[in-house]
A = this chain, B = another copy of it.
Amino acid sequence: MTQTLILAADIGGTFMKFGLFEESGKLIHRWKIPTNTADFGSNILSDLVSELRRVFSEEGLNPINLKAVGLGVPGPVTGGHIVNGCVNLGWKRVDLSEECLPLLKKAGFPDVRVSGLNDANAAALGEFNRGDVPGCDLVMITIGTGIGCGIILDGKLREGAFGSAGEIGHLMVNPSETKVCRCGKKGCLEQYAAAECIRRKVLKRLHLPDNALTHKELPPLVLEDVKEAGEMLGRALAAISCAVDPGLFVIGGGVSESGDTILEPIRESFLKHSFHASHDATVRLASQRNDAGMYGAFYAALATLKNSRTTEK
């Protein structure tokens, strides 16, 4: 029997994380490389294909067996392959299929389907399939440079009527805010809970100038740094809960690496603001930690592959 291989990639602003999977879900090789965001990220997809070629050659794998590539990207994706701008990668509109397929063909991979999805949606899919309670509806929140959110209801990733389901970074949590968010509104969750706001709190606590450290160079966070972020995240979770009442909220992304320091204030605020019937909802850290996105990209690629087989029949 021919072996079917699937590449999943979580393309972040700093690193690209790769997983080469068998169709069964068995991970056979994993590695990461820095993301080259120079020239509007124009080398990202060719770097990805070069890496694939290198690994297939080193591992003695047959390129004909690569059947699908799934890409998680930090921006909105429509139709399963059109990226509508990724600030952190330097991308404007990118059609992943159109750009990847010729590169893959040229590199000797003749039979591949390419699909993409938003990185928070990928993380949600990863947790849904591989988390502590596989198959449980969930709301995944990734706290990093921005606030990402992927929502799975009735087993299905929610896209929304205008592709903006999960845009909770711009959910208004503070009507008294006077500063304007980059979206033009005031009081958005992202104004309190994104990595940049937390970085500023840390520097203030340490009495350091505003440009002393990047958010990747921060010392371990303490409660004071994330208290406001937790309060505002809890308000957003409570609002989501009043609307669709999911049983599970999963917290991921870079800031979630501070563990209970960020989790506890979120839980406290959620209990304060949510309707009593939903108090038993679970709020926990991603069980796949930073691999949730890579696993989710695999499940998206697997679905595309299965779908293509049905269509080709």
Q: Specify which chain B residues have a CB less than 8 angstroms from the CB of A162 in the assembled complex.
A: 245, 247, 277-278, 280-281
Task: Report A85 CB to chain B, min CB distance, Å.
Answer: 12
Tell me the chain A residues, 35-89 only, with Cβ under 8 Å from chain B. Answer: none
Task: Determine the distance from Cα of A281 to Cα of B160 in the docked complex, in whole angstroms.
Answer: 11
Task: Report A33 CB to chain B, min CB distance, Å.
Answer: 32
Residues B245 and A172 in contact, CB atoms below 8 Å apart: no
Judged by a CB distance under 8 angstroms, whether A158 is at the interface is yes
Judged by a CB distance under 8 angstroms, whether A2 is at the interface is no
Q: Specify which chain B residues have a CB less than 8 angstroms from the CB of A149 in the assembled complex.
A: 243
Task: Report A98 CB to chain B, min CB distance, Å.
Answer: 23
Residues A184 and B276 in contact, CB atoms below 8 Å apart: yes
Q: Specify which chain B residues have a CB less than 8 angstroms from the CB of A164 in the assembled complex.
A: 241-242, 245, 275, 277-278
Q: Specify which chain B residues have a CB less than 8 angstroms from the CB of A174 in the assembled complex.
A: 175
Given contacts A235-B172, A235-B175, A277-B164, contact A244 B244 (CB under 8 A): yes
Tell me the chain A residues, 142-182 only, with Cβ under 8 Å from chain B. Answer: 149, 151, 153-154, 156, 158-168, 170-176
Judged by a CB distance under 8 angstroms, whether A96 is at the interface is no
Task: Report A284 CB to chain B, min CB distance, Å.
Answer: 14
Judged by a CB distance under 8 angstroms, whether A273 is at the interface is yes
Q: Specify which chain B residues have a CB less than 8 angstroms from the CB of A27 in the assembled complex.
A: none
The 0/1 profile, CB within 8 Å of B marked 1, for residues 274-288 of chain A is: 011110110000000
Pairs across A and B, CB under 8 Å, 24 listed: A153-B153, A153-B244, A160-B246, A161-B247, A161-B248, A162-B247, A162-B280, A163-B245, A164-B242, A166-B243, A166-B245, A167-B277, A168-B242, A168-B243, A170-B242, A171-B238, A171-B239, A172-B273, A175-B235, A176-B176, A183-B276, A185-B273, A185-B275, A239-B239
Known: A159-B245, A172-B238, A174-B175. 8 other contacts (CB 8 A): A151-B243, A161-B245, A162-B247, A162-B277, A165-B245, A172-B235, A175-B235, A185-B275
Residues of A within 8 A of B (CB): 137, 139, 149, 151, 153-154, 156, 158-168, 170-176, 183-185, 235-236, 238-248, 272-273, 275-278, 280-281
- Give the 7 A-B residue pairs with the shortest CB-CB distance, closest first: A160-B245, A161-B247, A164-B277, A171-B242, A165-B245, A239-B239, A170-B275
